[in-house]
Structure 1
């Protein structure tokens, strides 16, 4: 992805980009795609009814990540505190989805991959929130 280049080319950026933010945007969009694919793979499993919670969390996480990535990609008038709340919420969705996918990871490779991706995105969200300077210790 060219997230960093796009962020730095924005007229209001003056060439300055928060690397943690750029990495988080990439992680969010990547996680959204993986979660959507995992939900689809769960639906294709023979006993998909046993994966209902996993599918729902995959879809919720995909939406949370896509929304977070989209909003963080824009330079809006939204406050930094609001952005931190959004990052923390996205991290929470990623944690919940990863926890659930890990329950099925031994039987379903797609759940293992999804759990790993969600954990990476969760970390990226926390790092971006910390880099904003508005989070606690």
Structure 2
């Protein structure tokens, strides 16, 4: 149960989740400005899902919720999927998003353990 963990032990993961959500929001918005938006559809969808899950995970951790481990495991999976998709695209916003997603996935896996 996350309530056994002081907030300080979760701070790094919470910060990574919020940073990832911001990177995903930026990426999805930038993808909508690309010439071939249809080609970016999966990237945009994963960005939006990942951003939402990151915010949810951060909020649950901040509250010391008992579902922290499960939500962090799911968040890590979403981050992995988003990083893999964004990593396929050479645009800076996609590469920055992929990096934020990889960091968040690592932090969330640590919390889920």
- Taking structure 2 as the reference length, the TM-score comes to 0.90
Paired residue for 2:73, among 73, 88, 92?
88
Counterpart in 2 of 1:52? 41
Distance (Å, rounded) in 2 between the aligned partners of 1:128 and 1:26: 13
Q: Which runs of 5+ in 1 are unaligned?
A: 1-11, 131-137
Distance (Å, rounded) in 1 between the aligned partners of 2:49 and 2:64: 25
Higher helix share: 2
Q: Relative contact order (alpha carbons < 8 A, sep ≥ 6): 1 or 2 greater?
A: 2
Distance (Å, rounded) in 1 between the aligned partners of 2:110 and 2:29: 29
Q: How many residues align?
A: 110
Larger Rg: 1
Paired residue for 1:124, among 96, 107, 110?
107
Backbone CA RMSD of aligned residues? 1.6
